[in-house]
Amino acid sequence: MDLSEQPEIVQQAFAFVLQGWDLAKGWLLSPAAWSQFAILILAYLLAVLISRKLKPSLTRLFTPADDQGNIFATARRFILIFLPLIMPLLAYGLTGLGESITRSIFGSGEVIAFGKRIFLFLAARIFVTDIIKDGFLKLLGKFVLVPVAALNAVGLLELATTRLDAMVVPLGNLSFSLLFAIRFAVVGGIIFWFGRWSNDQSSTFISKQEEMRPATRELASKAAEIAIFGAAVLFLMNIMGISLTSLAVLGGAIGVGLGFGLQKIASNFISGVILLLEGQATVGDYVELDGGEAGTIVKMTARAAILETYDGRWIVVPNEDFITTRVVNYSDSGSANRYEAPFSVSYDTDINLVPGIVEAAVAKHSEVLSDPYPPDCELRSFGDSGVNFAVEFWVNGIDDGRHKFTSDVLFLVWNALKENNIEIPYPQRVVELKGEIRTTSQ
The closest of 390, 388, 379, 391 to 427, measured between CA atoms, is: 388
pLDDT at 372: 84
Residues ≥6 apart with Cβ < 8 Å to 59: 80, 83
With a cut of 80, say whether residue 306 has pLDDT above it. yes
pLDDT at 262: 63
What SS3 state is found at 382?
strand
Rounded average pLDDT over 192-219: 76
With a cut of 70, say whether residue 246 has pLDDT above it. no
Lowest mean pLDDT among 118-132, 326-340, 391-405: 326-340
With a cut of 90, say whether residue 220 has pLDDT above it. no
pLDDT at 379: 93
Intrachain domains 265-329 and 336-419 with the same fold: no
56-107 confidence digits (pLDDT tens): 888 888 888 777 777 788 788 888 888 888 888 888 888 877 777 666 665 6
b/e map of 44-67 (b: 16 or more CB within 10 Å)? beebeeebeeeeeebeeebeeeee
The pLDDT > 70 percentage for the chain reads 78
* Cβ-contact 322, 373 below 8 angstroms: no
- Residues 83, 98: Cα–Cα separation, whole Å: 24
Question: Before 372, cis peptide (omega within 30)?
Answer: yes
pLDDT at 380: 92
Q: Which helix (H) or strand (E) holds 395?
A: strand 387-396
The hierarchical CATH code for the domain 336-419 is 3.30.70.100
- Residues 218, 135: Cα–Cα separation, whole Å: 28
422-436 confidence digits (pLDDT tens): 998 887 677 777 767
Grade residue 228 by pLDDT with cuts at 50, 70 and 90. confident
- Residues 46, 65: Cα–Cα separation, whole Å: 32
* Cβ-contact 392, 376 below 8 angstroms: yes
23-62 confidence digits (pLDDT tens): 555 555 555 666 777 777 888 888 889 888 888 888 888 8
φ and ψ of 258, to 5 deg: -65, -35
385-396 confidence digits (pLDDT tens): 899 999 999 988
Could you tell me the residue ranges of all domains in the chain?
Answer: 8-166, 265-329, 336-419
With a cut of 60, say whether residue 10 has pLDDT above it. no
* Cβ-contact 369, 386 below 8 angstroms: no
**DSSP string covering 51-101, please?**
HHHHHHHHHHHH---TT--SHHHHHHHHHHTTGGGHHHHHHHHHHHHHHHH
| Number of residues written out for the chain | 442
Grade residue 361 by pLDDT with cuts at 50, 70 and 90. very high
Give the start-end residues of each E strand in 189-330: 286-289, 294-300, 304-308, 314-318, 327-329
- Residues 201, 210: Cα–Cα separation, whole Å: 16
Is-above-0.85 flag for pTM? no
Grade residue 354 by pLDDT with cuts at 50, 70 and 90. very high
DSSP secondary-structure letter at 154?
Answer: T
| 239 vs 52, residue with greater confidence | 52
| Candidate CATH numbers 1.20.1600.10, 2.30.30.60, 3.40.50.300, 3.90.1150.10; the one for domain 265-329 | 2.30.30.60
